[in-house]
Structure 1
Amino acid sequence: MSKLPIILVIDDERQSQEALRRVLGDEFQVLTASNAEEAENVLDQEMVHAILCDQRMPGMQGVDFLRNVRERWPDPVRMIISGYTASEDIIAGINEAGIYQYITKPWEPDELIRTIREGLRLWQLQNASAQASLDLKVAPAMLESQVAQKTSRLKRAHHFDRIAHAPHSPLTEAIDMASRVAAFDISVLITGESGTGKELLARAIHYNSPRGTKPFVVENCGALPDQLLESELFGCKKGAFTGAYEDRIGLFEQADGGTIFLDEIGETSPAFQVKLLRVLQEGEIRPLGARLTRKVDVRVIAATNRNLEQDVHDKHFRRDLYYRLAAFPIHIPPLRDRPDDITILTKRLLADTARNFGKTVTHLSPAAMALLSAYDWPGNVRELMNEMQRMVALAEAPIIGPELLSPRIRHRQPTASASQPQGQSLREQVDLLEARILAETLQRHHWNISRVAEELGLSRVGLRAKLARHGLERPD
């Protein structure tokens, strides 16, 4: 824009007009009107870039006026400024009047200027692009293309084939069950220890279902007290409880048409379980403080690390809610029961972490891999991910040796019964087994080279050569 952008302020209070003129006058050319008729006269004569309109005006509401503006003067960025935040007004403004922003009183000067700048930047971009409409909406064909591309990327990123596991892993059964149920609109209960990847499997179910183009929202039910959890999920009206400063749209309503993932469902109280059961039975929610209910169409995927069947037996979890949620149960086994998955997961996590950290780490030494494979991973995949991030952050060479492992892993006694990872060459498996035997023997003899060499039938020189080849170094 070669000259100051023109802002039209519409407010029936002269004091409000002057306050806005003082705040905006240094950066914008501010025109004012006290009612809809005056504003229309300005729009007929001036090339207005943005409209800042009060919601409550004599004769005509702000949303109604901007709806008319949208039809007659579609170019300006339309904004409402009001001390009232009724959700019905906001929804009408967005859906019917094409309003860019709903600004509440009292407004902060810096925030108001920033909002107008962003709106004018959008005005510039839309006028500069022949592809974009002048009504603040992308052309339908472009929008459809963008949505299709984004949906395709999400489906590829969350396809069941992207879940790392060995060919004969116990995880295969869970993935197969999830892929079968994805197409059917029924509730799923995913069980398993913390860190096993329950949310990852839930996302795969959603993005490979008929609801895959709709929202996927997540709530950790164990992190909030009942009242806040109810507000988060079902929404609330302003003033419904202490701290409810504005209307809130709940996650069930945000997920309408899509999927909601309720993690740690077993941590909810009996009182909340009753309210959730009603939502699942009736397919409708009632925000806190509201009189009317709202219909929602949401698929529920729940997850827990608890034994809900035992909790039902012990009267800690409602039986009727359990059967509503567990229409299709899926169990994810812990990582310690999936030793073949550790090598595959490690390679993928190492590559992803190195790329994200901008480091040239390429692989782990056989000794480091042997120690990782021998560890039982009580924190499951999440703990393995944290360990990979730690090692990559510390690494100063392309190959990570065992000296970078956390002490709890480096000094743990490997189990002789640990199975060998599948899908590797004979040489790789032999190297891994040799490194594991060396690491175990060294730990047992507290790195006494003479005793280790004697037990393994090696010379001291031969033993040191093998230690160097496998990158085994004595820990500090």
Structure 2
Amino acid sequence: MSRPGILIVDDEPLSLETLVRILDEEFEVRTATHPADAERILEEEWIQVVISDQRMPEMSGVEFLARVRERWPDLARIIISGYTDAEDIIDGINRGGIHQYITKPWHPDNLLLIVRNACRLVQLQRENALLALEMKMTAQALEQRIAQQRERLKRNFRLDGIVRSPDSPINGVCDQIARIAPYDIPVLLTGESGTGKELFARALHYNSPRADKPFVAENTGAMPDQLLESELFGHEKGAFTGAVSPRVGLFEQADGGTIFLDEIGEVSTAFQVKLLRVLQEQEVRPLGANRRRKVNVRVVAATNRDLEREIRAGRFREDLYYRLAGVRIHLPPLRERSMDIVPIARHILDAAQRDFVKPVEGFTQEALDCMRRYAWPGNVRELQNEIQRVLVLAPGPMLGADLLDPRILRAGPHVGTGLTAVPGVGERAVSLKERVEALESSVLRETLIRHRWNKTQAADELGLSRVGLRAKLERYGLLSSGDEGSAEGGG
């Protein structure tokens, strides 16, 4: 590590020699007998402390250090003088910005201590300036990074970027959101679990004038009232057991932006009163606080319940409902938009490959057909879970139907809505024979797919002969092309 640079300016050689002898062991010492020589040294070398004698023929030490102060203001300036007049000292401090005024005679140890402190002061000032510059650059970089992230979010949640087929019922939903996004009106999203209500809430936010402000989300049905009140409205230190520090609630965090209240139909009637007041007054009072705080948020709520039925049953306040449902948008379940299953599945697979770092070529056509036939009672969330599971289990580059869960393979061309629904049942009245045949057809298809259409293995599992299995396949139209000439164990 280089030693600090010291410049000593004195027209008396003996005095210079004495100062150099004392300081040379600890500092990098340069000397000058004239102010002009001293300034040339300052221009060429890194000096931290200038020590000047007061009495010099060309100019006084105070005058010289005043010139130094103008050109090199970051240096520490020390003057040595035999005069102890108070006016001289004050003049030196004011004109030359003197760090230390040393009077003769001085003690070597005291001189060393003064110079060390001066060097340390210069170093700290330099570090402080660099830190201030770094903080400024960091703040600018952070602002730029936040702006880039906001732009990326806006791109990710563009309405034309929501994955769907050209003839999807979701097109109407996107049209509604595009029309209402610019206006500060509360929105209630309804639909079954897993239909993407938070996705559309974010799309609503990032296509609105509030897009540059925060979007915060909370599942309001997942916690008791006190915890939910603390989460949404905040609390002061000591407001309740465990409140060891104050907390800013989500309403305040979302100030200027959007708050998404998911599962709003699960909120207790007692908490509904508190929430209604916040929506009416546009202000919150944290737990344990004496004063209310104004907030400016747009509220988007979501539920899988029929809130109008809940109102009639006395479980949901009608006045809160109308506060939330400025505009009501219904998201259709996946079974009502089977045309979206394939594009959504491929989109989910692309994301899963990146997350799991496991590249594959894609789905087989048979796998896509099976997914399209299935009802997906868990909607997009269930589809996502299934695709991630299939990707993890896949032994090769293609994701075949044999990897799908048996419940998906058993699905027929027309499906019911429940997990145990019988294929072909639910849309019209059918006879017992038709129900049995629909179930038998789905079991045959699921077994053959699992065995990759190896009829010998399928027949063994089902307890049928090869001839009996073939007869049933012909009956239900499950024979694939080329079956007539296939080998004994082939598909």
Q: TM-score, normalised by structure 1?
A: 0.64
Q: Is the 8 A contact 1:211 1:258 kept in 2?
A: yes
Which one is further off, 358-367 or 222-231?
358-367
Who is 1:293 aligned against?
292
- Where do 1:56-455 residues align within 5 Å? 133-135=133-135, 138=138, 140=140, 142=141, 145-415=144-414, 439=445, 446=462, 449-452=469-472, 454-455=474-475
Letter in structure 1 aligned against 2:339:
D
Give the whole-Å Cα distance in 2 for the aligned partners of 1:2 and 1:396.
62
Give how far 1:218 is off.
0.7
Describe the superposition over 1:30-72 as per-residue Cα deviations: whole angstroms up to 9, x where unpaired.
xxxxxxxxxxxx998746999xxxxxxxxxxxxxxxxxxxxxx
Distance verdict in 2 for CA 1:439–1:323, change over 3 Å = same
Letter in structure 2 aligned against 1:386:
N
Distance verdict in 2 for CA 1:298–1:460, change over 3 Å = closer
Q: Is the 8 A contact 1:234 1:250 kept in 2?
A: yes
- Where do 1:13-32 residues align within 5 Å? none
* Secondary structure, counterpart of 1:218 in structure 2: strand
Who is 1:6 aligned against?
none
Q: TM-score, normalised by structure 2?
A: 0.62
Distance verdict in 2 for CA 1:240–1:43, change over 3 Å = farther
Structure 1, gaps ≥5 residues long? 4-41, 51-72, 77-122, 419-434
Describe the superposition over 1:288-331 as per-residue Cα deviations: whole angstroms up to 9, x where unpaired.
01000001111110000000111112211111110010001110
Describe the superposition over 1:344-373 as per-residue Cα deviations: whole angstroms up to 9, x where unpaired.
111111122122212221221122111111
Identity %: 51
Who is 1:18 aligned against?
none
Give how far 1:451 is off.
1.6
Q: Is the 8 A contact 1:234 1:285 kept in 2?
A: yes
Q: Number of aligned pairs?
A: 342
Structure 2, gaps ≥5 residues long? 4-115, 417-422, 424-440, 450-457
Give the whole-Å Cα distance in 2 for the aligned partners of 1:375 and 1:220.
28
Q: Is the 8 A contact 2:411 2:442 kept in 1?
A: no
Which one is further off, 255-264 or 343-352?
343-352
Looking at CA atoms only, which structure, 1 or 2, has the larger radius of gyration?
2
Distance verdict in 2 for CA 1:407–1:2, change over 3 Å = farther
- Superposition CA RMSD, Å: 3.7
Q: Is the 8 A contact 1:133 1:139 kept in 2?
A: no
Q: Is the 8 A contact 1:75 1:135 kept in 2?
A: no
Give the whole-Å Cα distance in 2 for the aligned partners of 1:162 and 1:465.
46
If asked which structure has higher relative contact order (CA below 8 Å, sep 6+), I would say 1
Distance verdict in 2 for CA 1:466–1:205, change over 3 Å = farther
Letter in structure 1 aligned against 2:371:
L
